[in-house]
């Protein structure tokens, strides 16, 4: 009996230890991501406000050009010094979780510092890049560093890296369910009971830290948008199909442009990020709404005045510019993510569709904005090919849980459509292009 009780006690002690480990990973990762968000969210409005004065202050434009050229040169140098920070960082993190890429603790520290600084510079420069995917890699790096405190008693595997990645996405979006689903649906994390405990503890703690820092608000306050009635859900079907086709086309364009730039650019790595920065410079003084990941643009969509004819033209122009700039921003091995731009493009598609329904009399002024959320779920799922995560992230970042039925319908239909078009998930395509360095002995 004593032996039985001892085994039983050890069993629960081990689970408690895993919960504490996951909580520590989540707390550290969320603290890093919260610092990143505070710096970006504080600096970006100041920069955009300063740039808006360019017509009265002639020297602002040339000074900003010099700053962006210097930023491009710095980012090129940074990527050359720490190649693992290029792009979103999710494919590299997935290789670590799969056991195909081995990174020392010192290299993880370099990745964390360089990714933090590099993404901050790229995003404040105006490039259409997101913070969520870099936060996944920074969360993984934080977990790898914290894991050194207990690795002598920790069970084998890379579950702590997965926990850090989930905590990073949770802190970036304020979406714990999406963070939990993402590491199992996309990142090839082994589905084990113990692994689930660690990831769940990390996600819950990361959400608690994020709410403590940023309050209880959602990323996009759409909670007051009226729900589409069940009789209107059939209108989601064309949107899901369209998002699926658009997502497949976007994936092909992103990989094609990225590969073409890598093969044919005459620039060295030190200057490969300059062309996107020059594009950001032009847009800053001509069409600034498409700069950045798209957070502010998404929020503004739900506040559109329902005047379909003029609004449709504006939305179409904005959509084309956002897609073009987002694709161009991802060239040159620039450190930055694609998840927020994908959500923004999906929101624009949904807004364009919803305004079209309004013009046709198939939706009213109260319900058409719900299609913005459906568009986010559909386009995200078509590109990443993660319908469960797409459904969760659209509902969580908008704060509109009444949108779940429509989000799920749009997400699964879009993912199915992209599959039927024989388009590989975007991160699978990115992994295929990565040359894994040999392990140092």
Q: What is the pLDDT along the chain (441 residues), one digit of tens a residue?
A: 455 554 554 555 667 778 888 899 999 999 999 999 999 999 999 999 999 998 888 999 999 999 999 999 999 999 999 999 998 899 999 988 888 888 888 899 999 999 999 999 999 999 999 989 899 999 999 998 888 765 544 444 578 899 999 999 999 998 999 999 999 888 877 777 778 888 999 999 999 998 887 775 567 777 677 777 777 889 999 999 999 999 999 999 999 999 999 999 999 989 999 999 999 999 999 999 999 999 889 988 877 776 656 778 889 999 999 999 999 999 999 999 999 999 999 999 999 999 999 888 888 878 888 999 999 999 999 999 999 999 999 999 888 888 899 999 999 999 999 999 999 999 999 988 876 655 544
Q: What pLDDT was estimated at residue 59?
A: 92
Q: Are 435 and 95 in contact (CB under 8 A)?
A: no
Return the pLDDT at 4. 54
pLDDT of res. 307: 62
Element (H, E) at 376: helix 370-384
Q: Provide the 3-class DSSP secondary structure of residue 154.
A: coil
Phi and psi at 162, nearest 5°, equal: -60, -40
Nearest CA to 274 out of 40, 60, 75, 119 is that of 75
Where does residue 155 rank: exposed (0-12), middle (13-18), buried (19+ CB within 10 A)?
Answer: middle
CA 210-216-301 angle, to 5 degrees, is: 100
pLDDT score at 39? 94
Domains of the chain with CATH codes: 2-214 (1.10.3080.10), 230-432 (1.10.3080.10)
CB-CB neighbours of 429 under 10 Å: 18
Helical (H) or strand (E) element with 180:
helix 176-185
For helices 2-51 and 193-214, what crossing angle results, to 10°?
Answer: 40
Q: Which residues of 106-137 are buried (b: 16+ CB within 10 A; e: fewer)?
A: eebebbbebbbbbbbbbbbbbbbbbbbbbbbb
- Cα–Cα distance between 24 and 280 in angstroms, integer? 39
Rounded to two decimals, the pTM is 0.92
Q: For residue 26, give both structure tokens.
A: 């989540």
Looking at residue 192, what is its pLDDT?
79
User: According to DSSP H, which parts of 52-154 are helical?
Assistant: 60-81, 90-97, 105-124, 132-147
Residue 382 pLDDT: 97
């Amino acid at each position: 009996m004593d032996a039985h009780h001892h085994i039983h006690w050890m069993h629960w002690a081990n689970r408690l230890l895993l919960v504490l480990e996951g909580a520590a990973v989540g707390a550290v990762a969320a603290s890093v991501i919260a610092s990143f968000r505070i710096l970006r969210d504080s600096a970006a409005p100041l920069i955009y406000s300063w740039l808006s004065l360019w017509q009265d202050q002639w020297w602002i434009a040339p000074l900003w050009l010099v700053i962006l050229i210097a930023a491009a040169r710095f980012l090129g140098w940074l990527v050359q010094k720490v190649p693992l920070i290029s792009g979103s960082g999710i494919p590299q993190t997935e290789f670590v979780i799969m056991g195909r890429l081995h990174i020392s603790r010192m290299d993880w520290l370099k990745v964390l510092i360089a990714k933090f600084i590099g993404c901050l510079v790229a995003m404040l420069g105006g490039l259409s890049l997101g913070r969520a995917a870099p936060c996944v890699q920074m969360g993984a790096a934080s977990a790898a560093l914290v894991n050194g405190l207990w690795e002598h008693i920790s069970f084998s595997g890379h579950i702590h890296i997965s926990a850090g990645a989930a905590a990073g996405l949770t802190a970036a979006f304020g979406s714990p369910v999406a963070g939990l689903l993402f590491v199992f649906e996309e990142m090839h994390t082994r589905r084990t009971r113990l692994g689930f405990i660690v990831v769940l503890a990390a996600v819950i703690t990361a959400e608690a830290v994020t709410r403590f820092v940023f309050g209880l608000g959602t990323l996009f306050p759409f909670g007051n948008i009226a729900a589409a009635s069940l009789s209107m859900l059939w209108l989601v079907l064309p949107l899901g199909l369209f998002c699926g086709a658009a997502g497949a086309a976007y994936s092909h364009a992103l990989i094609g442009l990225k590969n073409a730039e890598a093969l044919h650019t005459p620039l060295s790595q030190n200057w490969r990020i300059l062309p996107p920065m020059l594009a950001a410079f032009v847009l800053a003084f001509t069409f600034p709404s498409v700069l950045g990941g798209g957070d502010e643009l998404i929020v503004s969509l739900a506040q559109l005045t329902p005047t379909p004819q003029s609004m449709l033209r504006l939305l179409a122009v904005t959509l084309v510019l956002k897609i073009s700039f987002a694709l161009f921003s991802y060239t040159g091995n620039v450190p930055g993510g694609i998840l927020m731009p994908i959500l923004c493009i999906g929101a624009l598609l949904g807004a364009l569709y919803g305004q079209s329904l309004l013009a046709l009399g198939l939706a009213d002024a109260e319900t058409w904005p719900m299609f913005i959320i459906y568009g986010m779920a559909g386009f995200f799922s078509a590109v990443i090919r993660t319908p469960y995560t797409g459904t969760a992230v659209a509902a969580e970042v908008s704060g509109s849980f009444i949108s779940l039925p429509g989000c799920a319908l749009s997400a699964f239909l879009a993912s199915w459509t992209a599959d039927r078009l024989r388009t590989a998930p975007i991160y699978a395509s990115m992994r295929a292009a990565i040359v894994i360095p040999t392990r140092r002995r």
